Amino acid sequence: MDRRHFLFLTAGAAALPFAANAAPLEYEPGLVEKHLKAGDTVFLDFKASWCSTCAAQERVINTLKSENSDYEAKITFVDVDWDAYGKSELVKRMNIPRRSTLVVLKGDQELGRIVAQTGTSQIKTLMDTALRAATA
- CATH number of the domain that 114 lies in? 3.40.30.10
* CA 98 – CA 46 distance, rounded (Å): 8
Inside any domain, residue 17: no
d(CA 1, CA 75): 38
Q: Please report, for residues 21, 28, 88, 99, 123, the alpha-carbon distance to residue 96 in angstroms, rounded to integers and kept in the order given.
A: 27, 16, 10, 8, 17
Determine the structural domain holding residue 105 and report its residue range. 22-135
Is 74 a member of any domain? Answer: yes
State how far the Cα of 28 lies from the Cα of 10, in Å rounded to an integer.
35
Q: What is the pLDDT of residue 15?
A: 47
What is the pLDDT at residue 19?
44
**Would you say residue 11 lies in a domain?**
no
2/5 Cα distance (integer angstroms) = 6
pLDDT for the residue numbered 23? 83
**121 lies in a domain?**
yes
Q: List, for the chain, all residue ranges whose pLDDT scores fall below the cut of 70.
A: 1-22
Residue 16 confidence (pLDDT) = 44
**Interatomic CA distance for residues 130 and 90, integer angstroms:** 20
Total domains, the chain: 1
